[in-house]
Amino acid sequence: MQTMAISKHKRNAMKRTALLLVIATCFSASAQESLTPAVLSNLEKSVNVSGAEKAIQNAIQSNAINKIALNGNNRQATDTWFSLDIKGTGISDQASSGRCWLFTGLNVLRQRAMKNLKNEEFMFSQVYLFFYDQLEKSNLFLQSVIDTRKLPLDSQQVQWLMSNPISDGGTYTGVADLVSKYGLVPQDVMSETYVSNNTSEFNGHLKRKLREIAINIREKSESGASVKDLETYKMEQMKDIYKMLCLAYGEPVKEFRWAAKDKKGKYLNAPKDYTPLSFYKEVCAPEEDLNADYVMLMNDPSRPYNKVYEIDMDRHTYDGHNWLYLNLDIDDLSPIAIASLQDSVPMYFSCDVGKQLNRSNGLLDVNNYDYNSLLGTTFGMSKKQRIETHDSGSSHAMTLVAVDLDENGKPLKWKVENSWGKTYGYAGHLIMTHDWFREYMFRVVVNKKYIPADILKLMDQKPVKLPAWDPMFGMEE
């Protein structure tokens, strides 16, 4: 009986194997590696545009997608009431530049300055700090080229460097390092230039020059030049970089005499002599370290929560700080942001601003556009999947200034002060539903005092270091 049972078992196994072979053969016969004429014919037959679909086809071919995908069932007037709303500092305009990170960081600091100066018209000079940002990034790039001189030119690290020598984008960490090192000046002491408002063309020339210096450094290294010789050469070339920046943005202010004025141009007090650092210390009266006393919180579901991460080479100055963040679940992050707003303290905030943005009213809502119905398909990736496939990431920084809470203290919607001018969106602001906040919010920078002790203690762990080309790397622009 035992022998017969084994035999029967073998026969059943052979039948299953044969069946699998038949299935595999059929699959192999139907699978296609290339778009052959037969495959193309099948694809063509799968499309049957007629009736309503023909009307949709005509509309798509003649209009912007967002214009015709706008959800007609979600066009009610935007709710602009907020239970917690910090008085704004006045809308700024980054014009055609990628300096949102800088405008946002200075807008957060400007609230302090306006209070201390008793002047609601005050604004910092963005171009002053941007000059040093571009100078520091140039040095960071060239010194990194020296540091990686022994790596092959086609290595991932060197290729990343050559692809990203400099940009006008940035993060909060850059603001903190630059302000601490160079201070600040009023906007009327060093005003914007055409190039600072339109950075793309000049930035292209600066990149080209930096790449030229970089390849010369590598060639000199291959010819036997020492690190000291390479750094001497770098500093000689930095003179050209400095001159280019002066021509484009103006020579940075070293000393100035200044006093605040009212709307009519009348001095509020007697002018005083300042350096940029003494001015920053007086008007902002910093009681904390912009780096040590602030924490960048991230919502990145593609990685474990409650872990600290550091992005390698993601900094603005060679002697500065890499971007460091604590990854939290959105339900742990939101109450911290609310606590800051409850204390009337705005925050540096960043998100994937282009997703589901209604530009006419400044509303960010996951139901703004119905792409599924219009394009006859579905878009079903989760936030985690969008990050992993580079479909979504932090692209723009703004100042988080308001939240609307329900009767249980849960957020319904949020408001940010933008840097796209007074006429954009809702009086220069953007409003986001909490559902949108969950999907497309990435970073918020908060003072440690608003973070619960058990969460703050997580910052004691050793950071997980990620490469610069990680999907979550990205300068806010």
The percentage of residues in the chain with a pLDDT greater than 90, rounded to a whole number, is 81
What pLDDT is stored for residue 12 in this prediction? Answer: 54
Instruction: Dump the DSSP string for 186-213.
Output: BTTTS---HHHHB-HHHHHHHHHHHHHH
Neighbouring residues of 273: CB distance < 8 A, sequence distance ≥ 6: 255, 256, 257
Strands 256-258 and 272-274: antiparallel
* pTM exceeds cut of 0.75: yes
What pLDDT is stored for residue 13 in this prediction? Answer: 52
Is 390 noted as a catalytic residue in this protein?
Answer: no
**pLDDT band per the 50, 70, 90 thresholds, residue 25:** very low
Residue 362 lies inside a defined structural domain of this protein: yes
Pick from 316, 349, 297, 323: nearest CA to 473: 323
How far apart, in whole angstroms, are the C-alpha atoms of residue 410 and residue 387? 26
**pLDDT at 460 > cutoff 80:** yes
What pLDDT is stored for residue 288 in this prediction? Answer: 82
How far apart, in whole angstroms, are the C-alpha atoms of residue 454 and residue 336? 12
Q: Are 367 and 265 in a shared domain?
A: no
Strands 441-447 and 323-327: unpaired
pLDDT digits (tens, 9 = 90+) for 102-111: 999 999 999 8
Residue 90 lies inside a defined structural domain of this protein: no
Q: What angle do CA 279, 104, 440 make, to 5 degrees?
A: 160
Which of 42-46, 234-238, 450-454, 461-465 is predicted least confidently? 42-46
Q: Are 367 and 243 in a shared domain?
A: no
Residue 216 lies inside a defined structural domain of this protein: yes
Q: Are 149 and 265 in a shared domain?
A: yes
Which of 170-174, 284-288, 299-303, 396-400 is predicted least confidently? 284-288
Q: Are 208 and 295 in a shared domain?
A: no
What pLDDT is stored for residue 213 in this prediction? Answer: 98
More confident residue, 394 or 28: 394
Instruction: Dump the DSSP string for 124-188.
Output: B-HHHHHHHHHHHHHHHHHHHHHHTTTS-TTSHHHHHHHH-S--S-B-HHHHHHHHHHH---BTT
What pLDDT is stored for residue 24 in this prediction? Answer: 44
Pick from 382, 302, 299: nearest CA to 334: 299
Q: Are 264 and 334 in a shared domain?
A: no
Residue 120 lies inside a defined structural domain of this protein: yes
Q: What angle do CA 122, 136, 130 make, to 5 degrees?
A: 25
Q: What six digits make up the tokens of 204? A: 């292209």
What pLDDT is stored for residue 17 in this prediction? Answer: 52
Per annotation, catalytic residue among 316, 327, 418, 434: 418
What pLDDT is stored for residue 10 in this prediction? Answer: 54
Number of domains in the chain: 2
Q: Are 156 and 297 in a shared domain?
A: no
pLDDT digits (tens, 9 = 90+) for 305-352: 999 999 998 899 999 999 899 999 999 999 999 999 999 999 999 999
Q: What is the DSSP letter of 408?
A: T
What pLDDT is stored for residue 432 in this prediction? Answer: 97
Computed from CA positions of residues 436, 439, 443, 445, in that sequence, does the dihedral angle turn out positive or negative?
Answer: positive
Residue 391 lies inside a defined structural domain of this protein: yes
Is 26 noted as a catalytic residue in this protein?
Answer: no
Strands 396-405 and 347-351: antiparallel
For residue 262, give the CATH number of its domain: 3.90.70.10
**pLDDT band per the 50, 70, 90 thresholds, residue 286:** confident
Q: What six digits make up the tokens of 135? A: 């100078």
**pLDDT at 21 > cutoff 80:** no
Q: Are 212 and 258 in a shared domain?
A: yes
Per annotation, catalytic residue among 284, 299, 358, 396: 396
Q: Are 304 and 453 in a shared domain?
A: yes
Is 418 noted as a catalytic residue in this protein?
Answer: yes
Q: Are 220 and 244 in a shared domain?
A: yes
Q: Are 221 and 350 in a shared domain?
A: no
Q: Are 275 and 318 in a shared domain?
A: no
Provide mean pLDDT across the span 367-391.
Answer: 94
What pLDDT is stored for residue 142 in this prediction? Answer: 98
What pLDDT is stored for residue 76 in this prediction? Answer: 80
Domain boundary among 235, 263, 284: 284
Provide mean pLDDT across the span 423-438.
Answer: 96
Mean pLDDT score of the chain? 91
Q: Give the range of the structural domain holding residue 279, as residue numbers without chain letter.
A: 113-284
What pLDDT is stored for residue 433 in this prediction? Answer: 97
Q: Are 459 and 328 in a shared domain?
A: yes
- Residue that the structure tokens 């969106």 belong to: 425
How far apart, in whole angstroms, are the C-alpha atoms of residue 118 and residue 112? 10
Q: Is 332 exposed, middle or buried (0-12, 13-18, 19+ CB in 10 A)?
A: middle
**pLDDT at 292 > cutoff 60:** yes
**pLDDT at 2 > cutoff 60:** no
Which of 41-55, 203-217, 357-371, 454-468 is predicted least confidently? 41-55
Taking phi over 0 as left and psi of -120 to 50 as alpha, with beta for the rest, 273 belongs to beta
pLDDT digits (tens, 9 = 90+) for 79-130: 999 999 998 778 999 999 999 999 999 999 998 899 888 888 899 999 999 9
How far apart, in whole angstroms, are the C-alpha atoms of residue 154 and residue 222? 15
Instruction: Dump the DSSP string for 233-282.
Output: HHHHHHHHHHHHHHHHH-PPPS-EEE--B-TTS-BSS--EEE-HHHHHHH
Is 299 within 8 Å of 472 (Cβ atoms)? Answer: no
Cβ-count burial 133-147 (b if 16+ within 10 Å, e if not): bbbbbbbbbbbbbbe
- How many CB atoms are located within 10 Å of the residue 215 CB? 13
What pLDDT is stored for residue 28 in this prediction? Answer: 44
**pLDDT band per the 50, 70, 90 thresholds, residue 64:** very high
Pick from 362, 166, 120: nearest CA to 260: 120
Provide mean pLDDT across the span 227-236.
Answer: 98
Provide mean pLDDT across the span 159-178.
Answer: 95
Per annotation, catalytic residue among 100, 284, 327, 351: 100
Domain boundary among 284, 311, 327: 284
